[in-house]
Amino acid sequence: MIEYILYAILVILVIYFLSGIRTIRPNSRGVVETLGKFSGIREPGLNYVLPIFQRLILINVTEQMTHIEPQEIITKDNLNANVDLVVYFKIDKDKANLYNVMYEVKDVYSQLDTLARTTARNVIGTMLFKEVNSERKILNDKLQSILSIETKDWGVRVLKVELKEIIPPADVQATMNNVIKAQNTKDAALDLATANETQADGKRRAAIKEADGEKQAQILRAEGDKLARILTAEGQAKAFDLINKSFVDNAITLKRLEVTQASLENNTKIVLTKDGINPQLILGEIPIKAKASK
């Protein structure tokens, strides 16, 4: 009987020991409470807590997003706009911030949601609808700055706030659509006018270039004709000079031949120079044989 009791006690102790084994993933940290009192932080990996006496609470330390449900906000120009926000935040891993998340705020998720809604309502209420719609980055940065200050004691770090959508009343939306449509039509007309002007300017430039080209061609043709006439006249003059020179040379040659013939008939020696006919008697007469008398 005692053996069964000891065996049962042993089994209970083993079960009790095994039930205290806990594993923590890298995306979480563990807060340990001993008999309802904070007693430490547990890191990722295999951990052990005393069953019944200790409690392990896991806290997500990755970047998280809370979606702020759309709400109607009255802008400075009295327009009822539906605004949709998202807030990105993260719980820091150090002991102090994990303690604040657990014990300085009741429910960090619901309270952050409520704080973001009221902050957005207060900030957007001081802005014109046009400013909210066109200056979203400024609005996002302002909301992030305010939320970061308000949650600094919660152990939460607000990373960014994004204005997903802002919807004006139906009549305002229709007016905005008409304005945008008119602006697009105006821009299209301006683009068309610019294109036509560019095309006309291109045609004008082409005509000017074509006229300049024709003018240059006419100038070149005229210069070519002039040069051709000059070359023709020079060629004719040179040809006349050649003909004249040839005629003179032939005349001189003929004269020389006549002089030579005369000198031979007179039995006289002469010298012909290149400058013309200059007969000279050379050392007297050449003896001429007289005909024998019968």
CATH number at residue 85: 3.30.479.30
Per DSSP, the three-state class of 287 is coil
pLDDT of residue 235: 67
Same domain, 69 and 147: yes
Same domain, 103 and 136: yes
Residue 89 φ/ψ, nearest 5 degrees? -145, 170
pLDDT of residue 37: 92
Of 59, 84, 99, the position where a domain reaches its end is 59
pTM of the model: 0.56
pLDDT of residue 205: 81
Let me know: does 158 contact 144? Beta carbons within 8 Å.
yes
pLDDT of residue 28: 94
Selection from 120, 135, 132, 49 nearest residue 87 by Cα: 120
Residue with tokens 């009255």: 74
Is residue 112 in some structural domain? Answer: yes
Give the helix, strand, coil percentages of the chain, each rounded to 5: 55, 25, 20
Is residue 282 in some structural domain? Answer: no
Is residue 159 in some structural domain? Answer: yes
pLDDT of residue 247: 58
Same domain, 154 and 86: yes
pLDDT of residue 179: 61
Same domain, 12 and 45: yes
What residue numbers bound the domain in which 104 lies?
64-168
Same domain, 38 and 74: no
Residue 160: beta bridge partners? Answer: 88
Is residue 47 in some structural domain? Answer: yes
Q: How many domains does the chain have?
A: 2
Same domain, 84 and 52: no
Of 149, 168, 187, the position where a domain reaches its end is 168
Is residue 216 in some structural domain? Answer: no
Question: Which DSSP helix (H) or strand (E) runs through 88?
Answer: strand 80-91
Is residue 284 in some structural domain? Answer: no
Is residue 80 in some structural domain? Answer: yes
Q: Going residue by residue through the chain, which has 294 residues, state the pLDDT in tens, using 9 for 90 and above.
A: 778 888 888 888 889 889 899 999 999 999 999 998 999 999 999 999 999 899 999 999 999 998 888 888 888 888 888 888 999 999 988 999 999 999 989 889 999 999 999 999 999 888 888 888 888 888 899 999 999 999 988 989 999 999 888 887 666 555 655 666 667 677 767 777 787 788 878 788 877 887 787 778 788 777 777 777 777 766 666 765 665 666 556 666 666 666 666 665 655 555 555 454 444 444 334 444 434 333
Of 168, 201, 231, the position where a domain reaches its end is 168
Q: In whole angstroms, give the CA distance from residue 124 to residue 79.
A: 11
Same domain, 68 and 138: yes
> For the chain, how many helices (H) and strands (E)?
6, 10
Is residue 41 in some structural domain? Answer: yes
